[in-house]
Amino acid sequence: MLSIRPFKKGFDEEAFVSIFNACFGDYDDIREMTLEEMKKMEELPSFNTDGMLVAEWNGETAGMINAYVDKLREEKKGFIQWLGVLPKFRGNGVAKRLVQKAIESLRQRGMKVAETWAQTDRKACMHIFEGFGFKQIRTTSIMRSNLNTIPLDIGENKEIGIRKAKLSDDNEIELINRLNNEVFKDHFNFRPKPIEETRYMLLELPWFQNQTVFFALLQSLPVGFVVAGIDEGLNKEKNVRYGWILDIGVLKRHRRKGIGTSLMLNAMRLLSAYKMEDALLYVDDMNPTEAVKLYEKLGFSTLRKNIVYQLPINKA
């Protein structure tokens, strides 16, 4: 018999890790999580367990889902995350029941729209979401570029200065936070980040403990930044040498000047110096800055795509 219950903080972390690793371990950009990393993730300022649900089949943990409400977001939109069912329980309607419960949870907490995503090769997930009426609203891509041949003279701005951020300095963290909130305010799903969240993402995120930030300086003033990182655990588990462009942005009034190109090239050279073989990044295909064109110019090509879905849920 199937039952769905709330996640119990301090009790269900081990089950969460087990399901996460079984269901997401074969993704090329996701590695297995440790219990310690799960507990560290719970320290993220925006993390909460209010909508996390656990499925049990005859008393045995079978799956999970998260009906997440970002309490810092003004719009009434909730997110369905981490849908996973252990292989031996698949085919019993567990995933559908979890999605149904997640939608109900978001609706009960006043959300008007539910948003989720599915990788395009995960046909079962796509079928489940579309069966509930979710509609595709956009796509995102994970892109990759080989670092053996980093291009030169492709329109980079040669007048700006590049400075490495001192992440041990709170003033530098505050500067990154201000730039982030200004640069991305016209992007999909933006909401301002509090300084505590920026600090956590740069200094305490379990997956990217080796991060570097570069500022672009125009007449000594910061006008953009890029964040590069390496997940040694992913590289070891997948037997790859991936480096990541985790964030890049240029203030709107300074775009189309080659500054983003310069920042990207510096980040790619850094990753190459760390003996990484490929640079990877995520991008919204409808990014208002047309970032995909920049990445393609730098040698990036699409590795795979995700579909972003939404469903109106304001009415039962």
Second-level CATH architecture of 143-304: 3-Layer(aba) Sandwich (3.40)
Tens digit of pLDDT for each residue in 9-34?
Answer: 999 999 999 999 999 988 989 999 99
> What is the mean pLDDT of each successive set of 10 residues along the chain, which is 316 residues long?
96 96 93 95 92 97 98 96 97 98 98 98 96 98 97 96 98 99 97 97 91 97 98 97 98 97 98 98 97 98 98 84
Residues 6+ apart with CB under 8 A from 113: 75, 76, 77, 78, 310, 311, 312, 313, 314
pLDDT for 210: 86
Strands of the sheet with 221-230, listed across from one edge? 2-6, 52-57, 60-68, 77-85, 113-119, 301-312, 135-146, 278-284, 242-250, 221-230, 210-218, 161-164
Specify which residues 247 forms β-bridges with: 227
pLDDT, position 120: 95
Residue for token pair 């393609």: 296
Q: Do 136 and 307 touch, CB atoms closer than 8 A?
A: yes
Instruction: Kindly report the pTM of this predicted structure.
Output: 0.95
pLDDT in tens, 43-61: 998 999 999 999 999 999 9
Q: What pLDDT does residue 316 have?
A: 55
What pLDDT shows up at residue 314? 84
CATH 3.40.630.30 positions along the chain are 2-133, 143-304
The CATH architecture of the domain made up of 2-133 is 3-Layer(aba) Sandwich (3.40)
123 conformational bin, left if phi > 0, alpha if psi -120 to 50, beta if neither: alpha
Query: What is the per-residue pLDDT for 256?
Result: 96
In the structure encoding, which two tokens stand for residue 302, read together? Answer: 């699409």
